[in-house]
């Protein structure tokens, strides 16, 4: 459109698109079908728990650290390690006396890295446990670089040992609560010839890293310090208080540091038992990085396979159409800067409730989905819909429909830069456009009911779930036998909210610590329900490539076009935007 043809009061809007780097368009899984990955045996009986103490300046250089080495529940070794360059001779002598008196093994940081960290964590497959583990691992590093590989792009590679035969660590922060941590894959052929002939492949040894801070947040939907977590879990070894950080080393401060390791272990043990209560045996605790991770673990436990695995031949253009109708994160203020009397309204677990009403669980457990043209029936339905129709549960099953609209002052969600905003935000506005735009049928209903005018529908697509996946297995939600569901017959979202409602009733009758425990439990169930009914299906992991890469952008126009971008979006495992 020429600039002269654009109305003076027009402004650009943005719609979501699907960026395909070739993985989706190929219609093939990332791993060749002939390969059968050998399942890892999981961490050994050994657990390494450690914590570091640093200087308080900007460098935060390692001074010393404490660790425990456990086999099962038994403490096999407790020790101290230190950096000779950061401590005076007097401080080193103090640590030596403390170690001898308290029965701690003493070594330098370099010795700890070689004999304990690599000797146990890598060579023996021990679980490495810490609180805010990425920070402690980075204190051991002797140099760093940008991480390589598609999964860890945007993260750091940490060389911890000067030994060239010791593999580096990779750390990639996902959020303020979670990070991916793993060893770099060893170069060369890992799979013996005989196994390769039979179609097997041995996975790289990546290690098992568990950040107690991350696991606690995933299980409770709360953020803790080590002290507050120990209090919440009511472990025997509470964190000690100190104001000696960065000061001269004392016996008191060494006791404080050693206690932190014991507290971390006891918190980890309590969280491990709490996670075991979910019965998610197919997903180890080191793979849980968020509430959404628990939701994915439930889907895996039920034997539900991802949509792209079930239906890899879905056209990328259709994904672009679906994402073009996505307006999550909408925020509206109808009356600004005026004092008004209001009535506060809220919905009970809105995301899973809407998913249950629309019957979207059917799509989750299906082999795939089909779609057909529904233009005439949707036009007729939109013309005669009333508010009373929305009170009928059966009506909501009609909503899995996308519509192509020719907007003519119709009330729709619009993603634009409002006022002096520098970024795109979403609000409900009267929209006119010469470009045809895709919306959900629900958005059309909103426009029709709020204005009395039905938007002009050019085309409508109705989606239907396919047959139920084979091999689905029952699961007990949160380990509660009263909430054992069969995914082929029961709605997982509905039962999650039923359980939350029960816990909230118990919370109302409880007092003191028990009330707080119930409150945390119901909040965790709420976040689990929201993440599993919404978040994981629109998971797009954005990575910054070292240099621009070619990809095909599929938007609302239908035909994809070539773009060169360094912002690479990788769909999550259970990506299913419909």
Contact 227, 264 (CB under 8 A): no
Question: Is pLDDT of 118 > 90?
Answer: yes
Question: 230 vs 48, 216, 522, CA distance in Å?
Answer: 19, 11, 20
Question: Quick one: pLDDT band at residue 287, thresholds 50, 70, 90?
Answer: very high
Question: Quick one: pLDDT band at residue 6, thresholds 50, 70, 90?
Answer: low
Enumerate residues 6+ apart whose C-beta is below 8 A from 448: 382, 385, 454, 455
Hey, is 180 helix, strand or coil? strand
Beta bridge partners, 157, equal 145, 170
pLDDT digits (tens, 9 = 90+) for 212-262: 999 999 999 999 999 999 999 999 999 999 988 888 999 999 999 999 999
pLDDT digits (tens, 9 = 90+) for 469-485: 999 999 999 999 999 99
pLDDT digits (tens, 9 = 90+) for 427-449: 888 999 999 999 999 999 999 99
Which pLDDT belongs to residue 8?
Answer: 67
pLDDT digits (tens, 9 = 90+) for 36-92: 444 556 789 999 999 999 999 998 999 999 999 999 999 999 999 999 999 999 999
Beta bridge partners, 48, equal 69, 128
Question: 236 vs 233, 239, 322, 474, 498, CA distance in Å?
Answer: 9, 10, 52, 37, 34
Beta bridge partners, 105, equal 79
**320-336: average pLDDT:** 84
Hey, is 521 helix, strand or coil? helix
Alpha carbon 316 to chain centroid, angstroms? 24
pLDDT digits (tens, 9 = 90+) for 136-177: 999 999 999 988 887 888 899 999 999 988 999 999 999 899
Tell me the pairing of strands 62-71 and 457-465. Answer: unpaired
Q: What is the mean pLDDT of the chain?
A: 90
Which pLDDT belongs to residue 22?
Answer: 76
- Mind giving me the DSSP string for 532-549? HHTGGGG-EEEEEEEEEE
Which pLDDT belongs to residue 3?
Answer: 41
Hey, is 553 helix, strand or coil? strand
Contact 81, 278 (CB under 8 A): no
Report the C-alpha gap between 290 and 307 in whole angstroms. Answer: 21
For the chain, what percent of residues have pLDDT higher than 90? 72
Altogether, the residues listed in the chain come to a count of 578
Quote the Cα angle for 140-142-147, to 5°. Answer: 90
Which segments of 277-329 does DSSP mark as H helices, in order?
Answer: 291-301, 307-310, 316-324
- Mind giving me the DSSP string for 333-393? -SS-S----------SSHHHHHHHHHTTHHHHTBS-EEEEE-HHHHHHHHHH--GGGGG-H
Enumerate residues 6+ apart whose C-beta is below 8 A from 411: 428, 429, 430, 431, 446, 447, 450, 451
Which pLDDT belongs to residue 36?
Answer: 47
């Amino acid at each position: 459109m020429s600039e002269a043809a654009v109305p003076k009061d027009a402004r650009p809007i943005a719609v979501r698109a699907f960026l395909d780097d070739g993985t989706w368009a190929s219609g093939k899984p990332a791993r060749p079908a002939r390969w059968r990955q050998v399942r890892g045996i999981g961490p050994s009986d050994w657990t390494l728990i450690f914590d570091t103490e640093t200087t308080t300046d900007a460098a935060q250089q390692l001074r010393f650290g404490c660790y425990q080495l456990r086999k099962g529940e038994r403490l096999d070794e407790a020790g101290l390690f230190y950096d000779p360059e950061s401590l005076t001779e007097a401080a080193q002598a103090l640590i030596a006396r403390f170690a001898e008196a308290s029965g701690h093994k003493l070594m330098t940081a370099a010795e700890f890295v070689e004999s304990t960290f690599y000797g146990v964590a890598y060579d023996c497959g021990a679980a490495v446990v810490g609180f805010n583990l990425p920070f402690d691992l980075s204190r051991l590093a002797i140099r760093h670089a940008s991480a390589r590989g598609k999964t860890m792009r945007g993260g750091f590679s940490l060389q911890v040992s000067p030994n060239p035969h010791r593999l580096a660590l990779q750390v990639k922060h996902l959020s303020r609560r979670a990070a991916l941590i793993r060893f770099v894959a060893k170069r060369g052929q890992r799979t013996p010839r005989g196994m390769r002939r039979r179609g097997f492949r041995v996975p790289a040894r990546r290690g098992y890293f568990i950040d107690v801070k991350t696991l606690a947040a995933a299980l409770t939907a709360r953020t803790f310090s080590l002290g507050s977590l120990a209090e919440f879990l009511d472990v025997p070894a509470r964190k000690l208080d100190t104001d000696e950080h960065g000061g001269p080393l004392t016996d008191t401060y060494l006791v404080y540091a050693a206690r932190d390791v014991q507290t971390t272990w006891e918190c980890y043990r309590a969280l491990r038992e709490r996670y075991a209560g979910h019965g998610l045996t197919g997903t180890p605790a080191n793979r849980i990085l968020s509430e959404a991770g628990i939701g994915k673990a439930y889907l895996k436990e039920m034997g539900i396979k991802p949509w792209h695995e079930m239906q890899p031949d879905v056209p990328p253009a259709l994904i672009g159409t679906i994402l073009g109708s996505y307006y999550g994160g909408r925020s509206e203020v109808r009356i600004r800067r005026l004092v008004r009397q209001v009535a506060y309204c809220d919905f009970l677990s809105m995301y899973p409730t809407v998913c249950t009403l629309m019957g979207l669980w059917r799509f989750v457990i299906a082999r795939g989905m089909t779609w057909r043209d529904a233009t005439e029936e949707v036009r007729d339905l939109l013309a005669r819909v009333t508010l009373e129709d929305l009170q009928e549960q059966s009506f909501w099953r009609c909503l899995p429909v996308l519509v192509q609209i020719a907007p003519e002052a119709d009330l729709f969600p619009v993603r634009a830069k409002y006022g002096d905003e520098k970024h795109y935000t979403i609000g409900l506005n009267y929209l006119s456009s010469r470009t045809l735009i895709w919306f959900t049928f629900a958005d059309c209903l909103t426009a029709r009911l709020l204005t009395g005018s039905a938007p002009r529908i050019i085309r409508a697509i109705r989606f239907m779930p396919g047959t139920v996946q084979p091999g689905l297995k029952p699961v007990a939600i949160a380990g509660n036998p009263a909430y054992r569901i069969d995914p082929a017959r029961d709605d997982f979202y509905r039962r999650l909210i039923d359980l939350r409602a029960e816990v909230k009733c118990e919370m109302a009758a409880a007092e003191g610590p028990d009330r707080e425990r119930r409150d945390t439990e119901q909040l965790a169930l709420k976040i689990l329900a929201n993440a599993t009914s919404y978040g994981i299906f629109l998971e797009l992991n954005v990575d910054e490539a070292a240099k621009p890469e070619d990809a095909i952008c599929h938007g609302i126009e239908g035909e994809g076009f070539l773009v060169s971008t360094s912002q690479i979006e990788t769909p999550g495992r259970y990506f299913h935007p419909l």
